[in-house]
Amino acid sequence: MLLEEGKLLSEVSTFKIGGPAKFFTQVRSSQEMKEALTFANSHHLPFLILGKGSNVLFDDRGFNGFVILNRIDFCEWREEKVRVGAGYSFSLLGVQSARVGLSGLEFASGIPGSVGGAVFMNAGANQSQTADCLTSVEYVKDSGEEMLFTREKLSFQYRYSPFQEMKGAITAATFTLTFLENAKIKQLKIIEHRKKTQPLTEKSAGCIFRNPSHSSAGFLIEKVGLKGKKIGGALISPIHANFIINAGGAKAHDVLSLIQEISEKVKSETGIDLELEVRYIPYI
């Protein structure tokens, strides 16, 4: 295991924000993941599993623990089933499956996360979510024990998976898809719409807030007049108000200040409490 000290987390975050990690490593197999987790456990280190670096906001001081970058990126196809490493691009998987006429993951196109991150957050879009076609998940506990969870044993909710309550790492997932003649057309329409309505080329962490029942966070933020609001280098996107972008030199405290202002104003003017979707990772 190659261990780095002081790795800047801004370099592995789609937000391009974050100070240094105390320890940092990359893993490319379940065996390497076991070694990394065993190291963290034996040294009593808090650890964080990182995929593509989306959906996280690191503290400006960094992370006083062990960051493990999951690079397990194999992809194995067998008719309508696909077994894929947790570090594999979720967006690429959506494109590849649709290209061969398999339906179920078209919505993944353009989502800038890893397969492991998508399972962990139960990522979704266009009335679909990761759990819909998930068959099983391979997992390593922080003790090094390997486990296999079938879908029937897992309870998913909107942007929630039971893995958020567990200590360890997702190493692989298997999906069962269905043959659909126009899967590629469906996927292309989704990515085209996403390009028009989301700031995909900007530095962001994806959606900041979860959508409340019967509404959308972006609509509420725009309704209270905060679209385009800027604090420091952080800007509420003029394209989609549920995205905060790093417009240049943004710090975590800039983003957190915007999050607080959004939360307070939406609450005071609409009575709705917005819940964070992005994960803020404190220094500890």
Annotation marks residue 210 as catalytic: no
Name the catalytic one among 207, 264, 275, 279: 207
Contact 64, 85 (CB under 8 A): no
Name the catalytic one among 32, 106, 138, 277: 277
Q: What is the helix (H) or strand (E) element at residue 98, kind and residue range?
A: helix 90-99
Whole-angstrom distance, CA of residue 233 vs CA of residue 247: 5
DSSP state letter for 173: E
Q: What pairing do the DSSP bridges indicate for beta strands 168-176 and 230-231?
A: unpaired
Report the SS3 class of residue 261: helix
Close Cβ partners of 177 (under 8 Å, ≥ 6 residues apart): 80, 81, 82, 97, 102, 103, 104, 105, 133
Annotation marks residue 277 as catalytic: yes
The Cα-based distances of 64 to 23, 35, 50, 142, 251 in angstroms read: 8, 20, 15, 18, 18
Whole-angstrom distance, CA of residue 235 vs CA of residue 143: 41
Name the catalytic one among 138, 159, 165, 181: 159
E strand spans, 79-167 = 81-85, 102-103, 124-125, 128-129, 134-141, 146-150
Whole-angstrom distance, CA of residue 162 vs CA of residue 119: 10
Contact 248, 206 (CB under 8 A): no
Residue with tokens 């979720």: 90
Query: Which residues are the active-site residues?
Result: 159, 207, 277
